[in-house]
Amino acid sequence: MKVDLHNHTLLCNHATGTVNEYVEAAIACGTEYFGFSDHAPMRYDLEYRMSFEEMDLYEQWVKEAQERYKDKITVLLGYEVDYLPGYMDERVLKRSCDYLIGSVHFIDEWGFDNPEFIGRYDHVDMDEVYSRYFGLMEHMAKSGNFDIVGHFDLLKVFKFFPRSDIRLLAKNALKAIKKADMAIEINVSGLRKPVREAYPSQGLLEEIVSLDIPITFGSDAHRIDQVGLLLIFRHHTFNL
């Protein structure tokens, strides 16, 4: 089954392409289930996401595409939600949609995957930062609000790795994810970033498989031409 559940739209202000253009690209790649999960609104980091007022418009676009392309593809409606304690909003968490992806992009309000703030890596202990990051993942899972874990080891994006074994650092987060009955995505956006590998890494993926945690796939496309990368990756890595 060709599934691609993590994709953005121009509403988040850092992606291009209309909903229909993404769906048409997905159909051209032979995708069967294509989900939108644009960045949900939040009262923080406002410039990289839709506003609360735009949720209706976003959902209208996705629902129109569901109808328009229903003979060719199943289009799903989701959101990528930042797990950031103090900023969680019921208007997002209680929204009626197909799924919510829970992602950690902030550690203590530090946008660690934003190249603007890369200087901060010079002043931190990476083992501590990884512990803190996976601690947030664990809390995110325990909150019970989400269906899919977004880019599980995003913290490696700029090639800053922990000294300790990442499988140990991630252990409690994985346990909580399993208990919460969530899926973890294989997200290929890392291939476009300095780290040049998908999320999660091979070692973590082995842990995930041994815990029997379900897996889903995401292009994390922010441009139309990023929609097909996932399928090339799947073919080479899993021969699917």
Catalog residues that contact Zn ion under the rule CB under 5 A: 103
Of the pair 68, 132, the CB lying nearest Zn ion is at 132
Q: How far is the CB of 96 from Zn ion (least distance, A)?
A: 22
List the end-to-end C-alpha distance of the chain, in Å, as a whole number. 9
Q: Residue 102: beta bridge partners?
A: 81, 149
Q: How far is the CB of 15 from Zn ion (least distance, A)?
A: 6
Q: How far is the CB of 80 from Zn ion (least distance, A)?
A: 5
Of the pair 14, 240, the CB lying nearest Zn ion is at 14
Name the amino acid, one letter, at 69: Y
Instruction: For helices 126-143 and 171-179, give the axis angle rounded to 10 degrees.
Output: 10
Q: How far is the CB of 239 from Zn ion (least distance, A)?
A: 27
Of the pair 31, 103, the CB lying nearest Zn ion is at 103
Of the pair 103, 226, the CB lying nearest Zn ion is at 103
DSSP for 94-124, written as a single string = T--SSEEEEE--EETTEETT-GGGGGGGGGS
Of the pair 31, 219, the CB lying nearest Zn ion is at 219
Strand, helix or coil for residue 57: helix
Of the pair 66, 103, the CB lying nearest Zn ion is at 103
CB contact burial 171-188 (16+ within 10 A = b; e otherwise):
ebbbebbbebebbbbbbb
CA dist 189 and 216 (Å) reads 14
Residue closest to Zn ion when measured from CB atoms: 103
Q: How far is the CB of 38 from Zn ion (least distance, A)?
A: 8
Element (H, E) at 64: helix 55-68
CA dist 191 and 231 (Å) reads 13
Q: How far is the CB of 71 from Zn ion (least distance, A)?
A: 30
